[in-house]
């Protein structure tokens, strides 16, 4: 049983490989209105079936037992070719040529039908030009609409749209093209194209023969604009605002803010836009942009077709490079001045601390040395008074002795007090001078008697200057 199963599997695989090896596939591209010739082998019973591209599981017989099933669509010519007449978009798909007796022997033809020989992409609102080289006029211009797109979704026509005549050798037909379509001997010009203009344009000569067929593909605008803080936005709408809808969506909250609704300006505008946004003709202006204005402007026509997507980016506030350089320099200078000020304050503080310490040392030293100095003065004064008294007793015993020491008055031996007068003990580098106003002066001089005998003692006992 196992060997029998293996044998059957091998035969099946061989049959599949053999059948697939006998199938030949050809790909061909045709244009609208063209006749396509399909070569039919000289089999005794050939047949041709068609599987549409839109429904590959459905088969439509075109040739059976050597006879055409639909003479209006196909025919057999003298060469034995099956001719597909005036192919259209619905003729796209797979054509299978096979033998009715042996279906394993077949040939496949994949047919693609294109509307135009030349395709051109034009942005919404721009100009479309068809050149009329070597075409005898006056011409006739036919237009066949293609699939339309609403909100980026392809919407097929419920039935094949018929061709319409836009120019009949003398005048433009149709109110939709009046004022937008112009024809000369050299070219056809269509201004301000719209999404509804997307399709094929066929040019016929004076005798009605087709000379050229071109396709127009209309695309919406996409712009990415960058602005600095405070700049003004000037945006083209590509059409007059009366033919548009304009919606603004902020990146912060993703909410739609309607600016133009069915060609009518909305009033009042959103508080974020009020007073800054204006629309004039086909131009939108927004003043003093700031980062919160970053977002999207979506422009559509009255039929809902997209005209433009304009993305706005606003940078945060930045100072001018020169101002930044100046402020940086000023900041550096201020920092250096601050460092210098702190350094000076530190030095002053250290100096004050040092002065306080020196003053304290001087005060402590002055107490001890001052006591010693006063003791020396007291001893010198005592010795002086003893000598003076001895002298005065001999001359005038009843006269009171007054000795003036700087800041002291002695009225009696062994006692002294502070004087308010200007009779002071004078100190100099030469010693201490004592004035005795009560003693008699020599007859030869009126000068004050000076006792220099105590100078070495006073110099030795005086404290050092602080």
Residues in Cβ contact with 18 at an 8 Å cutoff, skipping those fewer than 6 apart = 104
Percent of the chain residues past pLDDT 70, beyond the cut: 73
pLDDT at 13 over 60: no
Do 286 and 377 belong to one domain? no
Where is the domain boundary, 279, 297, 314?
Answer: 314
Scanning the structure block, which residue is given the tokens 């927004």?
Answer: 286
The whole model's pTM is what?
0.50
Task: Look at residue 422 in the predicted model and tell me its pLDDT.
Answer: 46
Task: Look at residue 137 in the predicted model and tell me its pLDDT.
Answer: 80
Do 339 and 450 belong to one domain? yes
Per-residue confidence band for 24, with pLDDT thresholds at 50, 70 and 90: confident
Per-residue pLDDT tens digits for 186-226: 999 999 999 989 888 989 988 888 888 888 989 999 999 99
Residue 159 lies in a domain: yes
Per-residue confidence band for 381, with pLDDT thresholds at 50, 70 and 90: confident
Residue 1 lies in a domain: no
By residue range, what is the domain housing residue 84? Answer: 18-114
Residue 293 lies in a domain: yes
If you average pLDDT over every residue of the chain, what do you get? 77
Query: Which of the residue ranges 10-14, 181-185, 453-457 has the most confident prediction, judged by mean pLDDT?
Result: 181-185
Scanning the structure block, which residue is given the tokens 């993305």?
Answer: 311
Contact yes or no for 92/112 (Cβ under 8 A): yes
More confident residue, 272 or 31: 272
Q: Structurally, how many domains does the chain consist of?
A: 4
Do 38 and 101 belong to one domain? yes
Residue 449 lies in a domain: yes
Where is the domain boundary, 79, 114, 149?
Answer: 114
Per-residue pLDDT tens digits for 164-182: 999 998 899 888 898 899 9
Per-residue pLDDT tens digits for 300-343: 999 899 999 999 999 988 777 888 889 889 999 999 999 999 99
Query: What 3-state DSSP class applies to 233?
Result: strand
Contact yes or no for 229/316 (Cβ under 8 A): yes
Q: In the numeric block, which tokens belong to residue 207?
A: 């005798």
Q: What is d(CA 18, CA 336) in angstroms, rounded to the nearest whole number?
A: 93
Per-residue pLDDT tens digits for 296-308: 999 999 989 999 9
CATH code where residue 282 lies:
2.60.40.10
Where is the domain boundary, 288, 314, 340?
Answer: 314
């Amino acid at each position: 049983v196992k060997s029998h199963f293996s044998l059957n599997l091998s035969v099946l695989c061989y049959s599949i490989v053999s059948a697939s090896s006998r199938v030949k596939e050809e790909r061909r591209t045709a244009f609208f209105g063209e006749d396509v010739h399909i070569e039919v082998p000289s089999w005794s019973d050939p047949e041709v079936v068609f599987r549409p591209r839109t429904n590959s599981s459905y088969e439509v017989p075109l040739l059976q037992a050597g006879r055409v099933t639909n003479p209006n669509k196909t025919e057999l010519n003298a060469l034995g070719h099956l001719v597909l007449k005036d192919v259209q978009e619905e003729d796209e798909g797979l054509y299978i040529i096979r033998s009715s007796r042996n279906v394993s022997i077949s040939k496949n033809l994949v047919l693609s039908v294109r509307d135009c020989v030349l395709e051109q992409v034009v942005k919404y609102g721009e100009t479309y030009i068809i050149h009329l080289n070597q075409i005898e006029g006056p011409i006739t211009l036919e237009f066949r609409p293609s699939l339309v797109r609403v909100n980026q979704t392809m919407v097929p026509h419920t039935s094949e749209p018929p061709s319409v005549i836009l120019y009949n050798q003398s005048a433009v037909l149709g109110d939709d093209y009046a004022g937008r379509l112009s024809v000369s001997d050299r070219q056809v010009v269509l201004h301000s194209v719209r999404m509804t203009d997307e399709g094929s344009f066929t040019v016929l000569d004076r005798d009605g023969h087709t000379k050229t067929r071109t396709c127009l593909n209309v695309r919406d605008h996409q712009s990415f604009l960058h602005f600095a803080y405070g700049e003004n936005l000037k945006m083209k709408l590509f059409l007059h605002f009366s033919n548009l809808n304009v919606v603004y969506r902020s990146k912060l909250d993703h909410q739609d803010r309607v600016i133009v609704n069915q060609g009518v300006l909305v009033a009042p505008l959103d508080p974020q836009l009020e007073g800054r946004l204006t629309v004039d003709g086909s131009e939108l202006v927004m003043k003093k942009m700031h980062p919160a204005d970053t977002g999207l402007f979506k422009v559509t026509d009255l039929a809902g077709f997209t005209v433009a997507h304009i993305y706005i980016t606003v940078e945060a506030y930045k100072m001018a490079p020169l101002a930044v350089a100046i402020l940086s320099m000023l900041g550096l200078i201020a920092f250096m001045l601050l460092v210098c000020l702190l350094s000076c304050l530190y030095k002053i503080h250290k100096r004050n601390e040092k002065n306080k310490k020196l003053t304290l040392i001087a005060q402590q030293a002055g107490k001890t040395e001052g006591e010693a100095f006063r003791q020396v003065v007291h001893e010198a004064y005592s010795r002086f008074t003893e000598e003076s008294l001895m002298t005065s007793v001999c001359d005038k015993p009843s006269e009171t002795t007054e000795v003036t020491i700087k800041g002291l008055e002695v009225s009696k031996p062994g006692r002294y007090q502070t004087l308010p007068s200007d009779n002071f003990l004078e100190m100099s580098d030469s010693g201490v001078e004592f004035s005795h106003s009560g003693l008699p002066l020599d007859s030869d001089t009126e000068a004050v008697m000076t006792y220099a005998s105590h100078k070495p003692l006073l110099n030795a006992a005086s404290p050092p200057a602080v």
